[in-house]
């Protein structure tokens, strides 16, 4: 039977006090809350035998050093997360995709130093806040020695956040240093967030497809999971993955918490959808998937001058 790899991930944000929380900002109120939420989330994923990949904002690394080194010792994968406007003293007034190439080098170098000071090692995996990126991002990450990460979310068109992924490749692939939406030949492996490509929402000037984050107020997780799995199997990629995300801002240790209840549903529906499709779910981390992509390679598409079916006069 075919194996589908299940990626359970969390963006770990630093606490933002009430008076410093712009609309839509994610994160806990305190580090005490953060640790409780992370431990609850981890326990739920491990009940299915699935390790978690934690993408950590640099300031969190010192406060949660013992927690994350312990979780890593139990199989978790750790990476770097960054919202430029949240970082350090806030002098980067932008989302990641709004930074120039030189600014991306600068902030990643500064953030890496802070991450290393907290955890004692260099981060090798990366995800930008809000999946914000531009055509320089993958080349910068590759040059700085990052092995892979999660920068893309197919179908997302959020111009205000510099996050435009219309038509992006939906499966894990070597990234492209020239055009971010398609595979390339960089060593950096991009692992797109899984979305139901048959869905399409337009709200407030933004467009997106449904994904499996448990934060949604109302979502049909069975349909989303079933459609994602069916689409993965139909595409038959070299490395088939179901990949979901959330943040450390809900109480996954509280059995009555709305998002915690949703997360339980998400885990159950991912498992059930894969098994109904005749495949086997297997937990994986960013490190695992990046290794598999490099081992299995990807199909190189021949250059096409023009698609004649589109030439209508």
Q: Where are the domains of the chain?
A: 3-301
Q: Where are the alpha helices (DSSP H) in 16-131?
A: 31-46, 60-63, 65-73, 101-119
- Where does residue 114 fall: left (phi above 0), alpha (psi -120 to 50 degrees), or beta otherwise? alpha
Closest CA to 1 of 240, 213, 291: 240
228-267: per-residue pLDDT in tens?
A: 999 999 999 999 999 999 999 999 999 999 999 999 999 9
Longest Cα–Cα distance of the chain, Å, equals: 64
Instruction: Quote the pLDDT of residue 313.
Output: 47
Residues 6+ positions from 69 with CB-CB distance below 8 Å? 119, 120
Instruction: State the CB neighbour count (10 A cutoff) for residue 155.
Output: 23
Closest CA to 59 of 99, 98, 107, 114: 114
Instruction: Quote the pLDDT of residue 171.
Output: 98
Task: Dump strand ranges (E) for the chain.
Answer: 3-12, 52-56, 77-82, 125-128, 148-149, 157-158, 163-164, 173-174, 189-190, 201-203, 206-208, 241-244, 280-283
Q: Tell me if the domain spanning 3-301 has CATH number 3.40.50.300.
A: no
Is-contact 115 123, C-beta < 8 A?
yes
Angle between helices 65-73 and 31-46 (to 10 degrees): 10
Q: Which residues of the chain have pLDDT under 70?
A: 18-24, 298-300, 302-303, 305-313
Instruction: Quote the pLDDT of residue 307.
Output: 61
Is-contact 37 251, C-beta < 8 A?
yes
Instruction: Quote the pLDDT of residue 27.
Output: 86
Is-contact 158 130, C-beta < 8 A?
yes
């Amino acid at each position: 039977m075919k194996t589908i790899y299940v990626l359970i991930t969390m963006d770990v944000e630093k606490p933002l006090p009430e008076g410093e929380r712009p609309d839509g900002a994610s994160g806990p109120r305190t580090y005490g809350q953060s640790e409780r939420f992370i431990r609850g989330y981890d326990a739920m994923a491990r009940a299915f035998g699935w390790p978690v990949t934690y993408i950590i904002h640099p300031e969190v690394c010192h406060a949660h050093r013992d927690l994350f080194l312990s979780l890593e010792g139990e199989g978790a994968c750790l990476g770097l997360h960054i919202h430029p406007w949240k970082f350090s003293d806030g002098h980067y007034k932008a989302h990641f995709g709004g930074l120039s190439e030189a600014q991306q080098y600068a902030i990643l170098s500064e953030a890496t130093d802070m991450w290393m000071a907290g955890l004692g090692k260099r981060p090798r995996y990366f995800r930008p806040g809000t999946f914000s990126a531009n055509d320089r991002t993958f080349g910068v990450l590759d040059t700085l020695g990052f092995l892979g990460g999660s920068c893309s979310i197919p179908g997302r068109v959020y111009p205000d956040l510099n996050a435009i992924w219309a038509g992006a490749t939906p499966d894990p692939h070597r990234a492209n240093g020239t055009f971010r939406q398609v595979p390339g030949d960089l060593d950096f492996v991009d692992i797109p967030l899984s979305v139901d490509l048959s869905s399409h929402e337009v709200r407030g000037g933004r467009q997106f497809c449904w994904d499996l984050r448990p934060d949604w107020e109302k979502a049909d997780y069975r349909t989303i999971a079933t459609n994602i799995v069916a689409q993965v199997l139909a595409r038959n990629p070299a490395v088939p993955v179901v990949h979901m995300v959330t943040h450390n801002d809900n109480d996954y240790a509280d059995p009555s918490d709305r998002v915690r209840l949703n997360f339980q549903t998400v885990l159950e529906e991912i498992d059930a959808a894969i098994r109904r499709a005749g495949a086997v779910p297997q937990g994986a981390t960013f490190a695992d998937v990046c290794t598999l992509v490099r081992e299995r390679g990807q199909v190189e598409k021949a250059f096409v001058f023009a698609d004649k079916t589109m030439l209508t006069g």
